[in-house]
Structures are given as C-alpha cells and as structure tokens.
Structure 1
Amino acid sequence: MATANGRAKRQRGEIEELPSGSLRVKVYAGIDPITKKRHYLTETIPAGPTARKEAEKARTRFLAQVDDRRNPRTRATVDQLLDRWLEVLDVETSTRQGYVKKLNKHVRPLLGKLPVGRLDAETLESFYAVLRKCRDHCGGARKAIEHRKAGPHDCTDKCRPHECKPLAPASIRQIHWILSGALNRAVRWRWIAVNPADQAEKPGMPQPNPHPPTAPEAALLVTQAWKEPDWGAFVWLAMTTGARRSELCALRWSAVDLDAAVLTLRSALYVDDAGKLREKDTKTHQQRRVALDAETVEVLRDQLARSEDRASALALSLRGDGYVFSPDPDGDTPLTPDTATQRFSRMAARLGIATNLHALRHHSATELIAAGVDVRTVAGRLGHGGGGATTLRVYAAWLSESDQRAATTLAARMPSRPR
C-alpha cells in the first residue's frame, strides 16, 4: 500500500498460507505481562473460495482489538478497578472477606499494575497457569528457604527449602469468577469494550472428592472428645447433624426443642473486618429444622444440665437464648469457629488421623446415604441448595455404592429363575 508521499506503508499483521491450503492470520499484540514473551493473536481460516476474504476480516478484527488495548477508554489499572468494584459490590461481609483475601494474595501482586485495557484472554490464561504451578507465584523457579519466623534466628527443621504447591483448582476457579465480575462491571462502566474473562478458557470444575473419617476413626475421635464432656457434645452433634461449624457455634438453647427432638439452624457466625464475632444468616439464607435421634437428645439434655449447674454455682442464670456451646457460665458468648477447628485438628493429629472438623459433615452425609436415606432428605439436613443437586455432585461415589447395595438386596429377594 502506498501513502501520499509515495512511500510504501508496512501492513500490520500477516496472512500465511499453510500446506493444507488454509490461511493462518497472525497479529502481534505486545509482550505478555506474565510470561514476558511476545504475544500474537492467531486464527486459522479453512481453505475455500472465500478464505482470503475471511482472513482479511479476521486480521481487521484482531487489529481493532489490539488498538482498543493500546488506546483504552481509561488508564485505570486492575488495582484501581478492583478498588472501585469493591466499593459498589453488594455481598455479605464474609463473602467480601473471601474475595479480598484472594485478590490481595494472588491477583494484585501479578496483575494489579497492569492497565485494565491491556488485560486479555492470554494474559489471564498465563496467570492461571502460574497459579497451577505454585501458589507462591514462583513459576517453579524459586530456590529459597522458607523460614519459620522473620528476622535473625537459628534455623531449625521447620525452616525448609521452598517447595512449589499448586493452588487448588477450586480456588483458581473462584478467582476467575471474581475477576469476571469485576471486568463485567468495567464493561458496564465503559472502561473497556469487552470482558477478557469471557474469552479466556475457564478453569475446570474440580472433581468433588470428600474424605470422611472411616467408622472406626469416627468412633475413636468421639471417644477422645468425650474426655471433656462439653467438647464431646460438640463433636457428637457435628457428627450426627452434619451442621457447619459456624452453625453449631451460633446454636442457642432457644433453637433446641428437646421434647420434639428437633433443633433449628437459623444463623451462623463469622469474624468481621475488625476481628469481632458476628451472626448472619446460614450459607443458603434459609433456616432448617434437623430431627434428632434419642441418643443425641440425651447428649443435649446432659449439656443443658451441665450449663445450668455452672451458672448456678456462680449465682447466675443460664440465659434462655444463651449459646449451647459457650465459654461463659451464662452462655452469653459463643464458641469461636476457628477455636473449634484448631482444637479438633490437634486432637486428630494426636490420634494419628488425617482429617478435619469439616470432614465430620462428610461423614454424616455418607453414613446417611449408605443407610439408604434419599438424597433430598440428606440435602435438607446438610443445608445444601439446589434441591439435592449439590449433594448428588459431591457424594456421587457413595450414591453409586448405595445403588450397588440396593441392587444386591433386590436380587436376593427375587424368586429362583426356572432352569
């Protein structure tokens, strides 16, 4: 192409004919900020009478995308977008805290200084690849010692060479959707023309793989916990109801009906930005009634009697809406969820059992499924949304085993076939 002064103008991008007759369109799009490698937009056009025309359209489209990133509608960085997005985001405090933690740990260090207009699908996919290699973003190249504490000290066996550990697939997927939400808002505000997260390959859905303690391990855990009755009651209730730790810690005596053998889970605890315990709705924003077996009713009766005795010994009265599990004699303050988690982990470690408090919830679900309880009932007890869809997805393996046992049971009741 010639310009007004007669000089030839260099064409941006190239269209290459492949041995198959197809045409490959290639346009330079700058340096990838994650990998620091040259970045090209490419597309292959199948051979045919209109291939050249389609290739020119693709080249023009790529050039427009590159120009849009080079001349964005705003000079704002990803950090500035995230700050503005968090200002207008309407979610629960605990959800916001989870977002902020992931953004500060992973997104801001790698993408924060990048102009929003330069963020594209390849950059996001390179970012996810770094997280899959190492959650500390070393890309597999860090040769360093991870010290147990900062400052001058004598290293012990706890100061170890860095080992790359990938970020969990579920966490990478959550980060993708957090970024997608922020970038959607940027499109609505006309900061950018398109959402690059829509064009990037989304991190795959992780395969649910719960690891509940075995029946012997569960029995050992409960037996160990009963050495301190209040703690034993907490572990027992976690195992028999399948309630979340935050729901058990928020449980009040006013929500326990021992005569009807039922408890109502209507709230959960969380720690706010100031470090204070607060109550909120349950995870699915619905209260649920959980039926209790006779033994669990007796466990709660004993817990109530102990609580009343402690309050009476100090000339106090147990509050009617006091917490079932409380460090205070009158039940005024709840047990902190993190305290329960840490205590359970220490107990399991002493017993040599690789499990955690949340795994008791899996134990409850798998035992119910193994006993032949239908999925909707299990979902209702656990507080799963979607009418059992979550339960089906998470516990598919146990449902399969239960179905095999059902088939065996049915076969045993069939009459003998004629010979």
Structure 2
Amino acid sequence: MARADGRTRGNIEELPSGGYRVRVYAGLDPLTKRPHYLRETVPAGPRARREAERSRTRLLAQIDERKNPRTNATINQLMDHWLDVLDVDTSTKRGYVNKINKHIRPNLGNIAVGKVDVELLDLFYAQLKKCRDHCHGRRYVQHRTAHNHVCDEHVDSRCEPPQPGRCRACKRACREHRCKGLADSTVRQIHWILSGALSRAVRWGWIGVNPADHAEPPSLPHPDPQPPSPTEAARIVNDSWAHDPEWGALIWITMTSGARRAEMCALRIRHFDDENGVLTLGRAIYKDDNGELQEKDTKTHQQRRVVLDPESCDVLREHINRLRARVKKLDIDLSPDAYLFSPAPDCRVARNPDAITRRYDRMAERLGIKTTFHRLRHYSATELILAGVNVRAVAGRLGHGGGGATTLRVYAAWTSEADQRAAAALSARMPPRPDSKSGKPPETIDKSNAEPAD
C-alpha cells in the first residue's frame, strides 16, 4: 500500500517501488469543472524523498505565480473550442481546418495542453519540414486516392523507364512513399494557428504561459516572384484568344488590372464604368462549407477603382457586346447585375475560381510555360514598376496596404532592363577611369609623345 504523507498544501505518496508521487491541488478545471491536480512522479533512489519535496515546492511555486496548466484538456479539445470562437472569413477558416486536421491533430491532438512546451513544438516543426505525410521513417506504398482504384493502369506493358510527363498511366501510378517536407511558409502558418489557439488558452485560464511565444518557426521565406516574361505573356494572351474570346478577355483584364482570381469572378456589368474607363473591384467569390459559390468582401475588405487603358476598355466593350448577343438568343436583356465572366448563358452564375486555375494550368502546361494564374499579378506589378509608375499607385491597383511595402517585397521581380538602367545611371556619376598603364586620370596624360595610331 502507498503511504500518504499529508501536508497543508500538496501531497506526497510513497510508492511500493520506493519512489514518490507528488500531487498538488490547482483549483477547478475550467473545462470539466472538476478538481484539477498537478502530479509528478519521482523514481526510487537515495535522494528520492528530497527530490519529492523539491518537486512539491516547484509545483506550488507554479501555482502561486499562475504559470501552471489549469486543465487536463488536450490539443484536440483546444482546437475545437478555438474554432468555435474564431472570427475569420469562411475560406480562411477552411484553410485552418485543413491544416489542423492533416497536421496538428494526428501529431499533437492527444497531448494535454499543459504538456506542450517549446521543445515539443520545435521538434514538431522539424518533422513537418522533413515529411508532410508524417511517415516517421516507415516505408509504404503511397496511394493517390483513398477510394478503390487500380494502382498501375498500364494495360499492355509498363513504360521503362516511367514517363510521367507523357504517359497518363505512369503519372497516375501509385508508388513508394518519398518524404517531401512542407514549405517554410506552410510551417509558419501552422505555427501561427497553434500560437493563436494557445494564446486563447492563456486568456481562458487553461495554461499560464504560451509556449509558442518562445518556439522558433522557420524564418520568413525570401520572396521570389517569377512573373511571365513579356514573350511568355504574349504567348499566353494569343493562345487564350485563339481558343475562346471570353477566356482571352479574362486573361487580358487580369494582366492589365492586377485583380485576384476571386475578384475577377465577382465582376458584374455595372462594375465597369464605360464612360470613364474605370473598373471597380469590391467583391470576391468563394466556396462556403457546403461547396456553394458565395460573394464576400475582397481579401483586404476594401473597394478599389482601377483605371483601364483604352485597349483594355475596348476588350471589355467587345466582350459585353458578345454577352448581349448571347443572352438575346434567350429573349432576355443583359442585366447590369450580370456577371462579366460567367459559364451560364444568362450570365447569372459566377465562375468558380478553382475552375479558372485549373484551366490556366492546363493552358500553361500545353504551352510549356512554368507559371500560375496568380503570377499574372506579379507580371502586372513588375511591368508597372519597370515603366516607372509610382509604387503607391501600383499598390493601390493591386489592393495592397502598407504604402507599397508588400508590393516591393513580394510582387516586384528583378528585371534586367531596370538593372541596366541603374548601372548606366551609376556609371554616369563615376569619376574618369585612370589609364591602365600610367595609373593617371585621362586628362593628366601627356598625349604629345603618344605613338601615332596606325
């Protein structure tokens, strides 16, 4: 039998093994409303009793300084409560839920909130950077889907060597898992999710301090915008126009306005001021929890007006005329609330932003250009800055805040033409170059004794 050694505050029990169990009352659990105790076990040894006394003193000090965990709740319970009170956009919350379910719950979900420390978080981030599938070093076949499927779709014979760029069966074949870590930016997002949830746990009185404040996530990744080159941009525009004038108009306006894909999907006829050549960007399309397309504010919750060049205005006028001709076949008029880019004949349904991305990716793959739809914004910012447009004006067109800091740091790519102009400007300010033989400035060299030129 264990022997209890009572104290006014705290309890030390001697175990049959010769060790000691320390238990200190820490108030009511705010989640379960039951008594909450801090416990610690000291292994047997000649100084076990002394270590148990020190352990009790340390636990009491934590309680007095309010640095002790005040609940036995797990990370899973914390995430559930945090998501219930989280006030963010639906699309943002969906991204949080995906990262929580894929990365946080499988690795930290069953751990008590009070046992999460800096070391545990640092090890967790290192694991994410090593393998995004949390293989922990085990070998297995990585299937492409959880549904019933054929792992190898080759009917006659397999390609040797595999050709995933050409053969569809090779591309879709299940293969042995290879570790691939998460990007630093994704690990940082997971860190901020944990930090926000643990910060709320501190406010709720679940824990005394936030261990994420001292954890070290990956450093901020260096921005590396890679917009399409002017030649690639021309190929993209020409190909889009050749296949579908409406698709070509969407690509053209995205390039010249710098709008986001969700903002392009939310554009309506009334958002284009034909007389003044102004496009108003104030809404965005997103998918709700049921997968239905809905409208919301822009990413920065601000409305902005973008002036279009005459060529872009002509593109929109021609596009709207095509829409009028299309709806006229249905014996209806084109409403001012009709969407500028719509898959429906009556233009009353918005385009799916994900569908735009998929179509653009297929076009880029067909053209052999490594790019994404979002990099059209990079292209717009880079070309405007290269043309000498004020950074604040560029930031206003793109919908950035901070006086253009984000525009310069993320979206303005290095261009050789601008760098050549900078080199020429610096060269004009340099002093005359000394003669390579005499080491004297050119104006001090006596040219009377110089050898005549051939």
Distance 1:95 1:270 in 2: 10
1:119 equivalent among 102, 116, 120: 116
**Structure 2 regions of 5+ residues with no counterpart?**
7-13, 21-39, 42-53, 154-169, 434-441, 444-454
Residues 234-383 of structure 1 aligned to structure 2 (within 5 Å):
234-383=250-399
Judged with a 3 Å threshold, the aligned counterparts in structure 2 of structure 1 residues 148 and 92 are, in CA distance, closer, same or farther, namely closer
1:132 equivalent among 125, 129, 134: 129
1:211 equivalent among 207, 210, 226: 226
Distance 2:183 2:202 in 1: 29
Judged with a 3 Å threshold, the aligned counterparts in structure 2 of structure 1 residues 131 and 387 are, in CA distance, closer, same or farther, namely same
Cα deviation digits, residues 176-230 of structure 1 (max 9, x gap) = 1111111011011110111010121232111111111111111111111002100
Aligned length: 369
Judged with a 3 Å threshold, the aligned counterparts in structure 2 of structure 1 residues 236 and 63 are, in CA distance, closer, same or farther, namely farther
CA contact (8 A) 1:250 1:279 kept: yes
Larger radius of gyration: 2
Q: Which amino acid in structure 1 is aligned with residue 140 of structure 2?
A: A
1:147 equivalent among 143, 150, 162: 143
Residues 192-207 of structure 1 aligned to structure 2 (within 5 Å):
192-207=207-222
Distance 1:278 1:303 in 2: 24
Give the equivalent residue in structure 2 for 1:159.
Answer: 174
Distance 1:217 1:399 in 2: 15
> What is the deviation of 1:72?
3.3
> What is the deviation of 1:307?
0.2
Give the equivalent residue in structure 1 for 2:162.
Answer: none
Distance 1:68 1:126 in 2: 28
Give the equivalent residue in structure 2 for 1:44.
Answer: none
Give the equivalent residue in structure 2 for 1:224.
Answer: 239
RMSD of aligned residue pairs (Cα, Å):
3.2
CA contact (8 A) 1:69 1:118 kept: no
Give the equivalent residue in structure 1 for 2:29.
Answer: none
> What is the deviation of 1:309?
0.2
CA contact (8 A) 2:67 2:209 kept: no
1:187 equivalent among 202, 214, 222: 202
2:187 equivalent among 126, 149, 172: 172
CA contact (8 A) 2:66 2:208 kept: no
CA contact (8 A) 1:318 1:329 kept: no
Give the SS at the match of 2:202: helix
1:88 equivalent among 85, 88, 91: 85
> What is the deviation of 1:171?
0.9
Give the SS at the match of 2:414: helix
> What is the deviation of 1:399?
7.8
Cα deviation digits, residues 67-94 of structure 1 (max 9, x gap) = 9999731111000011011111111212
Give the SS at the match of 1:270: strand
Identity of aligned residues (%): 58
CA contact (8 A) 2:143 2:151 kept: no
> What is the TM-score of this pair, normalised by structure 1?
0.80
> What is the deviation of 1:398?
2.4
Distance 1:184 1:388 in 2: 31
CA contact (8 A) 2:241 2:248 kept: yes
